[in-house]
Structure 1
């Protein structure tokens, strides 16, 4: 895996950024200044990792964290930004519930793909070969 990750390196990451671009611009405080655990804002949490990636300085861990943040704070069933609030703020969708639902489902699926791609080697632990735990004595 490369040391730095660019949007051109990973089409799923590029798609997640496209989805984030459907949300309000970062200065829209009614959306991005929602506080979450630890007191940080969604703008600072997502923005830090996203900025590094967009400037070509993103590491695999930045992609992983960005994806985890999307799952945790914008994904299906999260307790921070309800789907209705997200729907209300989707750019050019005029509060269309189906668009909000589709955005959440797509972002959740895309973020999960990125998390498993960039985190799975760490989760696997001592089992460097996929499925190794099933064939060990």
Structure 2
């Protein structure tokens, strides 16, 4: 359960890191929009992962932070702001929409992959739906 997870081990994790790389780098003020401290959180999440020492918890935190601060309907960084800060797409609205959609979907895959076993604890999948 405490095994190291590298980018080579999980293509969804590698994809999420690639998506984050499409955004402006950590020096950009974009990362501190709304005083959320998202830049520090993402940097802290990425550090062990990029060093090849990421664990389930690190991947889960990264994915949850992407959902919370960069995903659909978040109250921190708007899709329009994300669109303006994507490298190489010159503010194309469809690119911003696609980025948010892809990042949200990928982050959710990672959350369910790495958090779901912990949420279940000792319950059998679907047991809540079975009659006693």
- Same fold? TM cut 0.5: yes
Q: TM-score, structure 1 length as denominator?
A: 0.91
Question: Gapped runs of 5+ residues in structure 1?
Answer: none
Cα distance in structure 1, aligned partners of 2:125 and 2:84: 42
Describe the SS at the equivalent of 1:8.
Answer: coil
1:105 and 2:101 correspond: yes
- Tell me what 1:44 maps to: 40
Name the structure 2 match of 1:119.
Answer: 115
Partners of 1:136 and 1:51 in 2: CA distance: 46
**2:129 aligns with one of 108, 111, 134:** 134
The whole-number CA distance in structure 1 between the counterparts of 2:128 and 2:62 is 29
Q: Secondary structure at the match of 1:3?
A: coil
Instruction: Give the whole-Å Cα distance in 1 for the aligned partners of 2:4 and 2:94.
Output: 36
TM-score (norm 2): 0.94
User: Structure 1 residue 125: deviation in Å?
Assistant: 2.8
2:116 aligned counterpart, secondary structure: helix
**Aligned pair partner of 2:59 in 63, 66, 75:** 63
Give the total of aligned pairs: 131
Consecutive unaligned residues of structure 2, counting only runs of 5 or more, are none
Tell me the C-alpha RMSD between the 2 structures: 1.2
Give, in angstroms, the shift of residue 136 of structure 1: 5.8
Aligned to 2:75: 79
